[in-house]
C-alpha cells in the first residue's frame, strides 16, 4: 500500500500555503509533492468515511498486550519498509525510530490503562509504524494498519515523530473508524478531527503525568522549525492562536459557534471548526481540575465508543451524548459542568434544531470562490441587527429565478449567497451565481454584506 487511506494531520490548506511560498524553495517543493502523493488516498478515505469498519476476527495469537514494530521506508513511498525495531528490542541509533516506538507505547498506555481498551481495536492489535516515508514528506497519517511519518522539509516542518500529540492524534483516527465511524465532512468531520486532537493531547498529558494546569493543550508542539512564527498546529486552550506567520498565515480556528466557518474547502472546514469542540473539552477539563483523563476524558471516550452516535453527528448531537455519558457515570455537578462547557462555545445541548446560544438568529452569507489566485472569501452579516424590513426585503429577492452557475470560465469568481433564518430551515434561501450572471441587485447585496463584515 503506497497511499494514505486516512486523512492526514496537516490540513490541505496549510500545505497549499507552503507550496506557494516562493522564498522557501525546498519547503514549497516538498509541500507540492506531499499534496500530489496524498490526494488519491485522501479522497478515497473521505468517500469511505461514515462506514464503520469491522473489527478483525480474533485469533489464537491475540495477546491483548503491547506489541510494536517500526519499519524504515528509506526515503521512498513504498510501505511497509524494512523492519528496524520490534517490541522489547533496544533503542536504535535513529531518533525517529525511537520517537515512533515510544509514541506508540504512550498511546497504547492511555487507552489501555485509563479506558480499558487494548490497542486500536480493543483486542491488542499490534501497533506498527514506518518512519522516513518519502523525500521531505510534510505529513503523518494512519493508513488503517500502521502509522506513517514523513521527515518534514526542514524549512517549515521538522520530522513528524517529534510530536507525541500527533502520534496520539493519528492513532485515534483508527479508534474512531472502528467505533463511531464519523463521516469526514462538515460537523461530523470536525468532530472526527477534534476527537483525535483531544485524545492526542491526553496521550501527551498522561505520558508526562500533567495536570490540566500543567498541560500545554497544544497539538503538534515542536513540529514547526524556528523559522516559523508559531508554537503548534492547533491549541485547545486558545483556538486561533497556534501560529501567525507570513507564510502559513494566521491560525483560522474559531473557539465558538459565532466564528463557525461555512466553507466548501477542507471538507467543510473539518480542521478549522474542530476548534469549537476542542475548546469545549478544554473548558470542561480545566473547570473540573486535576487530571483531564480522569473525568473529562472518560466522558469523551464513552461518547465515542458507546454506539449512540450517528455517522453524521452534529455538534449538538455530540454535546447531548456527552451529557448523557456524564449522567451515566458521574454526579450532577459534573453533568452541569459538561452542559456549561458546551454553552460556553455556543453549542446547544440536547436540541439540535435550536440556534446556538449567543450566535446570530439569522444571517446573510456570501461565499466567493478563489478565482485565478485561489483565495476564497466568506462574508456574513447579522440580519437581526437590522429592522424587520430587511428580512421582508430579502424574502422578495428572485432566489429561485436566479438559476445556477453556467459560466465555464474556471478563473471567474463564483458566488454562493445564502439567507439563513434559523427559526425555520424552510424559510432559508440560497442561490449560486457566476460573476457574469450577477445583476445590479445581487452586486448590491454582495457589496453590502462585505461592507458590514469589515465594519
Mapped onto helix, strand or coil, the DSSP state of residue 115 is coil
**Which grid cell sits at 164?**
507525541
DSSP β-bridge partners for residue 366: 379, 417
Q: How far apart are CA 246 and CA 362, in angstroms?
A: 35
Mapped onto helix, strand or coil, the DSSP state of residue 78 is coil
pLDDT at 53 over 60: no
Choose between 309 and 7: higher pLDDT: 309
**Which grid cell sits at 431?**
442561490
| pLDDT given at position 408 | 45
Mapped onto helix, strand or coil, the DSSP state of residue 216 is coil
| pLDDT given at position 432 | 83
Lowest pLDDT segment from 1-10, 133-142, 161-170, 411-420: 1-10
Please name which of 295, 275, 318, 7 lies closest in space to residue 180, comparing C-alpha atoms: 318
Local confidence band at 43 (pLDDT 50, 70, 90 cut-offs): very low
* Residue 221 neighbours by CB distance under 10 Å: 20
Q: How far apart are CA 307 and CA 179, in angstroms?
A: 7
Local confidence band at 38 (pLDDT 50, 70, 90 cut-offs): low
Q: Please indicate whether residue 435 is annotated as part of the active site.
A: no
Residue ranges covered by each domain of the chain? 12-273, 362-454
| pLDDT given at position 316 | 94
Which residue in the list 271, 317, 367, 437 is annotated as catalytic? 271
Which CATH number is 12-273 given? Answer: 3.10.170.10
The pLDDT > 70 percentage for the chain reads 76
- The number of angstroms, rounded, from the C-alpha of 360 to the middle of its chain's C-alpha atoms is 24
Q: Please indicate whether residue 452 is annotated as part of the active site.
A: no
DSSP β-bridge partners for residue 157: 224
- Residues 234, 253: contact at Cβ < 8 Å? yes
| pLDDT given at position 74 | 96
Query: Which phi and psi (to 5°) does residue 269 adopt?
Result: 75, 40
Instruction: Express each pLDDT in 391-433 by its tens digit.
Output: 667 777 777 555 554 544 556 678 888 887 654 444 567 788 8
**Which grid cell sits at 275?**
476548534
- Per-residue pLDDT, averaged over 242-268, amounts to 89
Choose between 153 and 35: higher pLDDT: 153
pLDDT at 150 over 50: yes
- Per-residue pLDDT, averaged over 369-384, amounts to 71
Choose between 113 and 376: higher pLDDT: 113
pLDDT at 193 over 60: yes
pTM (whole model) above 0.75: no
The pLDDT > 90 percentage for the chain reads 55
Neighbouring C-alpha atoms within 13 Å toward the C-beta of 152: 18
Local confidence band at 355 (pLDDT 50, 70, 90 cut-offs): very low
Local confidence band at 132 (pLDDT 50, 70, 90 cut-offs): very high
- Residues 337, 283: contact at Cβ < 8 Å? no
Please name which of 52, 64, 142 lies closest in space to residue 108, comparing C-alpha atoms: 64
Which residue in the list 155, 170, 221, 317 is annotated as catalytic? 170
pLDDT at 351 over 90: no
Give strand ranges (E) for 165-322. 218-219, 234-235, 244-245, 249-250
Mapped onto helix, strand or coil, the DSSP state of residue 367 is strand
| pLDDT given at position 377 | 74
Q: What value does the mean pLDDT of the chain take?
A: 83
Query: Which phi and psi (to 5°) does residue 106 adopt?
Result: -65, -40
- Per-residue pLDDT, averaged over 215-237, amounts to 95
Amino acid at each position: 500500500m503506497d497511499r494514505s487511506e486516512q486523512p492526514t494531520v496537516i490540513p490541505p490548506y496549510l500545505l497549499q500555503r507552503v507550496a506557494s511560498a516562493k522564498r522557501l524553495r525546498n519547503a514549497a517543493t516538498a509541500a507540492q509533492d506531499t499534496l500530489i502523493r496524498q490526494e488519491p488516498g485522501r479522497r478515497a478515505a473521505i468517500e469511505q468515511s461514515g462506514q464503520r469498519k469491522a473489527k478483525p476476527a480474533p485469533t489464537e495469537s491475540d495477546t491483548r498486550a503491547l506489541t510494536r514494530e517500526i519499519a524504515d521506508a528509506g526515503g521512498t513511498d513504498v510501505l511497509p519498509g524494512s523492519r528496524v525495531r520490534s517490541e522489547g528490542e533496544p533503542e536504535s541509533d535513529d531518533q525517529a525510530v525511537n520517537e515512533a516506538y515510544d509514541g506508540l507505547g504512550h498511546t497504547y498506555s492511555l487507552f489501555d490503562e485509563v479506558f480499558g481498551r487494548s490497542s486500536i481495536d480493543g483486542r491488542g492489535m499490534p501497533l506498527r509504524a514506518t518512519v522516513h516515508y518519502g523525500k521531505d514528506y510534510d505529513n503523518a497519517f494512519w493508513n488503517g494498519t500502521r502509522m506513517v511519518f514523513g521527515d518534514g522539509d526542514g524549512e517549515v516542518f521538522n520530522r513528524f515523530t517529534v510530536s507525541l500529540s500527533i502520534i496520539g492524534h493519528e492513532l485515534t483516527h483508527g479508534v474512531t473508524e472502528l467505533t463511531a465511524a464519523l463521516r469526514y465532512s462538515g460537523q461530523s468531520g470536525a468532530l472526527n478531527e477534534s476527537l483525535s486532537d483531544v485524545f492526542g493531547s491526553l496521550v501527551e498529558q498522561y505520558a508526562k503525568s500533567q495536570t490540566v494546569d500543567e498541560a500545554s493543550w497544544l497539538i503538534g508542539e515542536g513540529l514547526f522549525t524556528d523559522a516559523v512564527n508559531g508554537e503548534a498546529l492547533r491549541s485547545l486552550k486558545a483556538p486561533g492562536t497556534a501560529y501567525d506567520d507570513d507564510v502559513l498565515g494566521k491560525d483560522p480556528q474559531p473557539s465558538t459557534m459565532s466564528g463557525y466557518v461555512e466553507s466548501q474547502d477542507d471538507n467543510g472546514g473539518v480542521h478549522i471548526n474542530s476548534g469549537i469542540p476542542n475548546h469545549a473539552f478544554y473548558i470542561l477539563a480545566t473547570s473540573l481540575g486535576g487530571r483531564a483523563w480522569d473525568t473529562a476524558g472518560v466522558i469523551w471516550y464513552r461518547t465515542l465508543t458507546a454506539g449512540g452516535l450517528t455517522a453524521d453527528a452534529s455538534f449538538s448531537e455530540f454535546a447531548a451524548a456527552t451529557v448523557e455519558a456524564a449522567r451515566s457515570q458521574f454526579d450532577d455537578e459534573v453533568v452541569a459542568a459538561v452542559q456549561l462547557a458546551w454553552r460556553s462555545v455556543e453549542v446547544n445541548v440536547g436540541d439540535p434544531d435550536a440556534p446556538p446560544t449567543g450566535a446570530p438568529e439569522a444571517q446573510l452569507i456570501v461565499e466567493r470562490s478563489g478565482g485565478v489566485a485561489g483565495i476564497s472569501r466568506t462574508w456574513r452579516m447579522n440580519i437581526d441587527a437590522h429592522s424587520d424590513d430587511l428580512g421582508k426585503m430579502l424574502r422578495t429577492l428572485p432566489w429561485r429565478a436566479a438559476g445556477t452557475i453556467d459560466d465555464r470560465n474556471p478563473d471567474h469568481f463564483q458566488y454562493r449567497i445564502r439567507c439563513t433564518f434559523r427559526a425555520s430551515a424552510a424559510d432559508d434561501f440560497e442561490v449560486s451565481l457566476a460573476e457574469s450572471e450577477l445583476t445590479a441587485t445581487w452586486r448590491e447585496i454582495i457589496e453590502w454584506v462585505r461592507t458590514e463584515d469589515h465594519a
